[in-house]
Structures are given as C-alpha cells and as structure tokens.
Structure 1
Amino acid sequence: MEVALKKRVVDGTNGHYRLTYDELELSLLAGNATATNIRLTPAMSADTRHRPAATIYHLRIGRLKINGVGLLRLLISNRLTINTITIDTPSFRIVRHRQVDTGATDSASKPVHEQITQTLSGIKVNRIVLQAGEFELADEHDATHLHIQKITGTARDIRIDSASLLDTARLYGAKAIQLEAETVDYVRPDSLYHLQIGPLHFQTTKEELVLHNLRYGPTLSKAAFYRRTQLAKDISNISISRIGLTGIDITRWVSAQTIAAAALHIDSGSIAIYKDKTQPNPPENKIGKSPHQQLLRLEQPVAIDSVLIGALDIGFTEVSDQTGKAGTVTFETTSGVIRNLTNDSLALVRNRFMELHARSRVMGAGDLTVDFRFDLRDSLGAHKYRAQLGPMSGTPFNKMLTPQLHVEIEHVAIQGLRFDMEANDRRTAGTLHLDYDNLKVNMLREDNEGGTSTKPIVSFFANRFLLNDSNPDANGVRHTGQVYIERPYSFSFFKMIWRSIREGTKECIGL
C-alpha cells in the first residue's frame, strides 16, 4: 500500500513531488486511518537542464486522522462517506520563483471536483477539523510575503457531487464553515508597507467576518520612504480596532463571486496621511480617479448596503513646497454611514447613487457635518457635497495656515460655515457662506534661525484695507463665496474640494 500510495503521488505530480510519513495505521473494519508527520516536498532532479517550476509547494501535517470511512457503501454505490477528518498542525508554504507561463499550462486539465466525479459518484464528509495550522506565501522576485498563523477551523456537512456543486447555499461544498486565525502578516511586493491583522474570525452560520487590531503602515521612516520613492507620495498610517462584515450573502459569492453584505462596521481607530511636497511631483492625470470612480473600476464585484463608521480620528499633514514646513488639519471622533457601496451592475440599476453622511470635530474645536451624493452611473463622475460647521474659534486653523502660508490668525469668532457644491471631472460650482466676527491676522516672516516674527506694517494694511473684519460687515452686507473652478487634470478629488473651500472663503473675507 505504501509503495502504491507514493507512486500515485509521483504520477499525479509528474514526478515533481514525493510523499513521506513516519507512521501509518489502518483499521479497515472500523474505517479509520491515522498518519503522522506527513510531508509533501519537491523532488530533487538530477537533470541540470530541468527548469524549476514557477511555484513550489511545501506541505507538512503533524497528524492526519480519518474516522468512519464507509467502505461497504463505497463498494456498493461508489460513493465515499467519511465521518471526521482531523488535521493537526498543518503547515503549507508556497514559494513563487517566476511568473507562471500561461501559454505552457495544460488547458485540458479539469477542476478537482470534476476529476473526483470521474472515479466516484460523490463524496460526503460529516466534519473536517483543522487545528493550529499555518500558511505562508513568498515570492523570490519581490518582497511579497503573507504569513497566517494558528489557523483553526471546522467545516461541516461537506459534499462533492453534481448536485452540491449547484447548491448556492453551500460554500465550497460545505454547509457550514467556522474559521479563526490568530495573526495575519502581509508585506507588499514593493516592501513599502506592512499589514497586520489579528485575531480573525469567520462563520457562515452567523454570516459574519470580523477582523481585530488592523495595522497598516510604512516599513521605513519618512526620510527613508522618500529616498526610496523619489516622489511626493502619500504616507499612510492606519489603525483600526475592529472591522466587521455582517449579513454576508453566501449565495451571491458562490454564484457570482460578489462580496455582498448588509453592513461593514469600522469601529474606533485612526487614519494619518502625510505628504512631503518638497519631493518631486511629476504631473499626473487624475481625472477619472475620484473615490467612486475607483470603486467602479474594481475587478472584484462589491455590494454592501451600509458602511458604518465610528470614532475615527483622521489627520492630514502636508509639508509645503514653499515654506518646507508641515501643516496639519484634523478631524476627531469622526462617525458616519455610507449607503449603497457597490459596483455591481444589477444593484446600480436599482439605485445609482452612493451617499455618505458624516459628523466630526474639526481641529478638536468645531462640529462639522458633511454629506456626499455620488452618481455611480454618470460618465463624468458627477457628485454633490455639502457641509456645515458650527461656531468655533478660528485660531486652531493656524496649525495648517501658518506653516503653509506664513499667516497667523490672531483672533476670529466663526459663527458658522456652510457650502453646497456640484462637481464632476470638468468643474466644481457652488456657493459658500462664512459668518464670523472680529477677524485679525498677522503676516509673518521667517528669521535666520527658522523662527517667525510679525510683519507689523503689512499686517496693519491687510487688516485695515484688504480683509472684512466681519461677515456680515459693518454695513450689514453679507459676502457670499461664488465658486466656479475648471478642474486641471493634475488636481485630485480632494484637492478640488480644498480649492473650492479656499476660493469661497477668500471671497467671504474680502480677498
């Protein structure tokens, strides 16, 4: 039996792999089998002209135990039934050595389930148990590395036959799957970013996938990152305590490979974006790359009814190419909901709009509400956005204005800010209303030691003759920002929003 089994592996892999194990115990009457320290490893070729495979697989199983094989039913009906398969401490490692030559693949090869049904009328397994598993993927030509540790799982009522393959209530032939992993580590092919997740939990009976402690950030310091990229790229640091996908539609995944769910929950965390504009920034065409347009171009079909966001601290820091200093704007305790997050064509027929409603605390001082409405079927990426900011002091904005523009707000009482814009790939148009009292600014100069001091004469003329110290002004006239901006091809979605706010604000304060 050992000779026949090992020969079957050699023949089935065209001599590329060999099977070894320490011990194999069989009980034909009970239908039980146990094998220990199973190893499936690449076979060494003595022929130096032999070209190595594009992908090499290494498999090791501490113990494989099969209980309750129905030998009588197999003989009578050619149908294999098994009570339980237990896989202890499996380790599966994949190493990619080169790109797969798709032209050399065997186009006539059949899927595994079709090969099984050629020799058996079907397979039924009551339960498969996986304990303390490990999976690793590496690529010798780049930095790609995926490592999943301490995988445990149970699959119940697994069937492989012509009927079960058409059953969309089953996931990969199983009626129910529960899977957990302690840690997931991933390094991008360019080695610039590292993703960590753990623990992870997936359960089909509850229709949920839950990820804890997501961390995504650069593997290098800011200085090393920009030495490596030589471009003014964004550096992202993301930390999320919990991400949960609930109400997963298993049927749509099985039938159309669509990630469909009732809700995606993003709970508690932070997102920090840093950009050094003193680095080279070659012109790039950013038309057609707004967030909703990127969603539509995803190869993976997605249909999520609601994305629920809770308690996120968001910050944007930019180093000015004019001053070389970093300015920051923050949005604390951000919460909100995105509705109809989808690129599925059938879902878009029913509802073509994706909507975002969010609330936040700007610079830790002012309450902000924002609403976006995206037309997912408009060829020019049409969208609308409106926002309203409550009363606050304007001095917290110095964290952004002073490093960027060498301007300091000495004092201003913002009574309220609101704007309403319509935009697409070609332009942004709308109105901005800013009510405030007692505006006074200081124009700054930089000294030889890197500090700043006020330009008193310039500041006096700016406050006395250029700026409206209040809106409505002393004559009771309310100044409204009328915005119309043609979109340059190098302007991103977010830069157009910032530019529309800036231009509307300038009109309100008299510039």
Structure 2
Amino acid sequence: MPSIKERYKKQTSTPKGKIILLSLVLIIVTAVAGGILYWNAYKKQIIRAELEKALRKGNGLYKIAYDDLKLDEVNGNLSVINLRIDYDSTKLEEMRAAGRTPAMLMHIQVPSLHVTGVKTPRALLNKEISGNKVTISNPLIELKYTMEGDTTRNVPDKAVYEQILGGLNMIHMDTVEITGGIISTQNLKTKRKNIELIDTRLVLSDVAVDSASNADTTRLFFARTLHLQCGNISWFSGNGLYRYTADSITVASDNSMAYVKRFAIEPQKGEDAFVRSLPTQDDRFDFNIRGIAIRGLKMLDLLNESFYADSITIDAAQFKIYRDLSIPRDKKNRVGTYPHQAVGKLPIPVEVPVMIVNNTYVEYKEKNAKTQQSGKVRFHNSTAVIRNLTNKKEKVAKNNVMTVDINTRFLDITPFNVKWKFYLLQPNGRFDVSGTLSGLDAKAVNVLAEPMGPARIEEGKINKVQFNFAGNDYNMNGKVLMLYEDLKVAVLEKDEDSKKLEKKKLISFVANILAKNSNPKRKGQEPREIDVKNERNTNRSIFNLAWKTLFEGIKETVGINKKSKEK
C-alpha cells in the first residue's frame, strides 16, 4: 500500500490536485489574514471584555465596578474612570449568619486611575495585570469597623487579596502612587466618623497582589517599600470636649522611620465653659507637641498590631493642665491608673527602649475653692528621658523597671531634678520617686502660696529641698530634707467687701512664733530630716500623692504639725 506521502505526491501532481492544493492554501491564508485583521480591529474590545470579566467576576466579599475603561493597547496605557471597590451587603449578611463577620470593611472610590506599561497579552492569557506605574488621584478610602468578629484586630486580614483580585491571578506594578487621598474610619453601627486623614500621598514600590506576595512577610500592603505623607489627621474625643490633630506626617518603610511635625490635644471650650460642661471635677488638657521622630520602627509589627521602635524623640512640647477645685469631685476609685499601670493595660504589645522629650513647658493651673483665685505651678526648659517603656512580659522578665529622668527649671528660677522608677506589671503599683530642688528666694513661691494657700512668705531663703519616696497603690513613705533660713510667713484671708486676700495679723504673729524659721536652727547643727508617711486618697492621682507627701514633709520641717495647728 502506498504511503501517505506517496499518495499526497500523486494527488497533487495532477492538474485537479494542484487546483485543490492551491484552494486549501488560499483558504488557510485567508483565514489567517482574516484572523489578524479581526484581532487588529477588535483587540481592544477583546482585551477589555476579558479584563472586565475578570474584574467583575469577584469571588469574595468585595465587588469592583467602574464607569469607563480606556485601553491603549499599542502604548500599554489603561485608564479607569470612577473605580469603586465596595463590600457586597448580601455576602456580608451571609458571613454574619455564619458567624464570620469581618472586624473591618472597606469602601474605596477612585475618580481617576491611570496605568502605564500594561502588558495586555499577558493579562489576556494568564489573567494577570502587569505594568510600570499606577497613578490614583483623589481617592476616598473608608475603613468601617463592624464591631463584630475579631474586634482585637484593626487591620484587614491579608487574605483580602483574594477578594480584591476577583477572577485575576495576579496584579503586579513597579510603582503605585496615590495623591490627594482622604482616608477615614467609621463605626458601621453608629455611622460616626473617627479618624480622618486629609491630603494623603502614598507611594508603593514593587507591588504584587497574589498568593506568593501575600505569604511574603517582608511586604507591607503587598509592596516592597512604602512612603506615606499626610497633611493632616484629626478626630474628636468621645465626649466632644477635645479635638486631636496631627500635621505633616511622614512614614518611610525603607529607613524604618516616622515623623510628625505637630500633634495637639485642643480643648473645644474655654476654662470656665469646660468646667460648666461637667458634673464633677476633671483636668482640662491643652497639649502641643512638635517634632516627633520615631526611629527603628518595625512596620510589619504594626500590621500585626504590635509597636516597636528603637527610639522616640520630641523636639519641643507644651503641656497645660487646668483644674477647678470649687466644684465637687467624682467618687471614682483610681487604683490601677498609675502611668506604668496604664502602659501595662495598652491593647497592643509596646516596646520602646528610649524616649526623649526636649525643650518642654509644663503648667498646672489650679483654682482654689476658698479664694476663687488660680495659681500656676510652672516648669520651664524641661527634658525627660524615659527608658524601657514596654508591656511585653518577656521583656519585663529581664528588666521590670521603667525609669523617667526629668531635668527642669521650677518657675523658671531654679533647677529641679526628679527621677521616677516604675516597677512594671507589679500587682501593687510599686514605684519610687526622688528629687532635688536648688536654692531660691522663698518669696518667689508666693505666686503659688497666695492663691492656693492662702498664705504669703514675707521673708526667707530656701537653700535646698530633697526628697526620696517609695509608693504603691495605697500609700507613700520616705524622707524630706528642706534647708532654709529666716523664714517669715503671713496667713491670709479673703475680705468679703474687697474680695482681696488680706493678712490676718494675730494668726500670722502666732504662726511665726510657733514656726521654726531656719533649718538647721544654727550653723554647725545637723539639719532636720523628716520621715513622712501618707495614705493615698484613692480618688486622686499619683502626682497628688507625691505632692501631698512632699508638702507634709515641708510643713513638718517648718513646725506645722497637728499640735501647732490646734494652737
């Protein structure tokens, strides 16, 4: 039997066979040419249809939609108008019924998205989108907390990449740049907005959205590096009395650094209006902090809701606190609210080996109930160094002491040095505090003594004040040494007619007789050092406990005790 090759040669050697062969060739050429013409004529529509099919398919909670998609296949450019990524409410209800409600949902609106260097054939064949750069202009990104599911997490689960990809296998871009973004968080149940970021710029490099990049623990939001700039972040306190703002924020993952030009806690009412708005006493805060630099920040820890930084430094700060003692106090028990106890109760693990606060002004202003006048305790040019700020149990097991060293100028007159030692994760709130105040003219403290006393120092010199205390949740004890000479005081009383503080001559005369006007009493003698013990009023703060204990020691030093008070 002739082979196929022999039969083919014989059939095509005849005139009829040659005509058949020519016809087949023409048909094949025509089909190929027609296919090429069809592809060139309709490739945009084909590619667009495939991309739309992939984008619209969606296999999870999120759906992607847009108003228009323009594709320049020759130059590899893709533009999307009014892109929307939103959760499917029906799917959400299904997840809720199954007990799988996510803690956070996303809603994203992008007026304009432009992609350059799109590799369209690859996208068509492998359901992949790959390109050089994505530019997203003026997006609105809303993060909505459901207050359900795993509410301990405030960042979306990494598996969200599957919901974003839809029918695609991969999205890869060399650079993604977002400009003019507005990012806000909202409680889905109350509809109340929490944090809002204005004028946000975000640059992500080497962005890959697929299963491999999702498993890559070195990536942040699917990117190799992240650079974030935000003009302003703001939110209000739950009671509306404060507005929190942060200006000019910069975050860079490649050098592990974050910087905030300014952070402020701004009271929304003046001092009197603030007091009238509350049923009981409370501190009114007015804080302004500048130049916050966070170095050695572990970005990936943030995604896992843990905070680590090598150091935090603050260039300058101003802390103003006001309290009116003429209105009733609350009856709240404040045991467990010391600073180190608050660190231990932070909702996420925190570790900062060193934090430095420079060039700080601190003012505590208090209105006296009897005199109806206010006195200000002021500390100028303060520097604080905080070491071992952490709530991680494994770190505390190695070093359980957090120290705070403060150097300042009391009333901008004399140096004042204080050192706090806080024992972390201790059940009784144990801490130590010691300090030294250098010499000053005793009359300088009249700015405090007259409105807060009420008393006036008429003569005297304070050479030194030194104290060393140990405290816990319920008491404080230690020693106070105050060296002074030629002290003379006047007891004051508010005149009902003039409303001014007037000297009570007889009581002042008796007080100066009973008081010890110098320490030591004579040169060469040992100075009086006072042992003090003070029970804590559990309705008050750690600073009140320390001040009251110091004040008891000072009063005892100058001879004001229970017996002298009775006399």
The TM-score bracket by the shorter chain reads 0.7 to 0.9
- Whether the 8 Å contact between 1:143 and 1:189 is mirrored in structure 2 is no
2:444 alignment partner in structure 1: 396
TM-score (norm 1): 0.87
Change (3 A) 1:262 1:450: same
- Compared with structure 1, are the counterparts of its residues 257 and 135 closer, same or farther at alpha carbon in structure 2 (3 Å cutoff)? closer
Residue pairs, 1:423-462, within 5 angstroms: 423-447=471-495, 448-462=497-511
Q: Aligned residue for 1:469?
A: 517
Preserved CA contact (<8 Å) 1:199 1:212 = yes
Amino acid at match of 1:429: N
Equivalent residue for 1:62, pick from 93, 111, 114:
111
2:291 maps to: 242
What's the secondary structure of 1:229's corresponding residue?
A: coil
- Please give the alpha-carbon distance, in whole angstroms, between the structure 1 residues aligned to 2:395 and 2:161: 32
Question: Does residue 1:383 correspond to 2:428, yes or no?
Answer: no
CA, structure 1 residues 176+41, in 2 after alignment: closer, same or farther (shift >3 Å)? closer
Query: 1:345-369 CA deviation, whole Å, 9 max, x = no partner?
Result: 2222222111111100001111011
Shift of 1:303: 0.5
Q: Name the residue aligned to 1:275.
A: 323
Secondary structure of 2:375's counterpart equals strand
In the alignment, which residue of structure 2 is the partner of 1:374? 422
The answer to whether the aligner puts 1:363 opposite 2:407 as a matched pair is: no
Q: CA 1:228/1:141 → structure 2, altered by over 3 Å: closer, same or farther?
A: farther
Q: What is the distance in 1 between the residues matched to 2:492 and 2:403?
A: 41
**Residues 421, 194 of structure 1: CA spacing in aligned structure 2 closer, same or farther, 3 A cutoff?**
same
Aligned partners of 1:10, 1:80: CA distance in 2, in Å? Answer: 15
Alignment of 1:205-216 (within 5 A): 205-216=254-265
Residue equivalent to 1:285: 333
2:77 aligned with 1:32: yes
In structure 1, C-alpha distance between the alignment counterparts of 2:366 and 2:210, rounded to whole Å? 58
Q: TM-score w.r.t. structure 2 length?
A: 0.79
Instruction: Answer yes or no: is the 8 Å Cα contact 1:482–1:507 preserved in 2.
Output: no
CA change 1:12–1:230 in 2 (3 A) is: farther
Computing the radius of gyration over CA atoms, which structure comes out larger, 1 or 2? 2
The verdict on how the C-alpha distance between 1:185 and 1:166 changes in structure 2, with shifts beyond 3 A counting, is: same
Say which is worse superposed, 139-148 or 448-457, in terms of deviation: 139-148
Tell whether the 8 Å contact from 2:243 to 2:267 is kept in structure 1 after alignment: yes
Structure 1: runs of 5 or more not aligned: 46-52, 104-108
Deviations 1:191-236 (A, max 9, x none): 1101222111111112111111222121122232223221201100
Give the distance between the partners of 2:126 and 2:105, measured in 1 at CA: 37
How far did residue 71 of structure 1 move?
A: 3.9
Q: Is the 8 A contact 1:143 1:191 kept in 2?
A: no
Matches within 5 A, 1:70-469: 70-74=119-123, 80-93=129-142, 100=147, 111-115=159-163, 122-137=170-185, 141=190, 144-254=193-303, 256-447=304-495, 448-464=497-513, 466-469=514-517
Contact 2:109/2:140, CA 8 A, preserved across alignment: yes
Instruction: State the secondary structure of the residue aligned to 1:174.
Output: coil
Deviation at 1:73, TM superposition (A): 4.2
The letter of the residue matching 1:152 is: R
Give aligned-pair identity as a percent: 24
Letter in 2 for 1:33: L
Larger CA deviation: 64-73 vs 312-321:
64-73
**Greater alpha carbon shift after TM alignment, 320-329 vs 301-310:** 320-329
Distance across 2 between alignment mates of 1:298 and 1:459: 50
Cα 1:461–1:408, aligned 2, differ >3 Å: closer, same or farther?
A: same
Provide the residue aligned with 1:48 in structure 2.
Answer: none
Residue type matched to 1:27 in 2? D
Cα pair distance change 1:164/1:43, threshold 3 Å: closer
Contact persistence 1:264–1:304 (CA under 8 A): yes
Gaps of at least 5 residues in structure 2 are 1-47, 91-100, 151-156, 561-567
* Alignment partner, residue 12 of structure 2: none
Kept after mapping to 1: 8 A contact 2:78/2:114: yes
2:548 corresponds, among 495, 499, 505, to: 499
Within 2, Cα distance between the matches of 1:7 and 1:171?
25
Distance change >3 Å, CA 81–CA 143, structure 1 → 2: closer
Residue 113 of structure 1 aligns to a residue in which SS? Answer: helix
SS at match of 1:498: helix
Residues of 2 paired with 1:431 and 1:101: CA distance?
A: 53
State the Cα distance separating 1:127 from its structure 2 match. 0.9
For the residue of structure 2 that corresponds to 1:497, the secondary structure is helix
Verify the 8 A CA contact 1:142 1:189 in the aligned structure 2: no
Question: Structure 1 pair 238/116, CA: closer, same or farther in 2 (3 Å)?
Answer: closer
Structure 1 residue 115: Cα displacement:
4.3
Distance 1:451 1:159, change over 3 A: same
**Which residue number corresponds to residue 7 of structure 2?**
none
Note if contact 1:135-1:147 (Cα within 8 Å) is conserved in structure 2: yes
Q: Counterparts of 2:199 and 2:192 in 1: how far apart (Å)?
A: 23
How far, CA to CA, are the matches of 1:311 and 1:168 in structure 2?
Answer: 39
Letter in 2 for 1:28: E
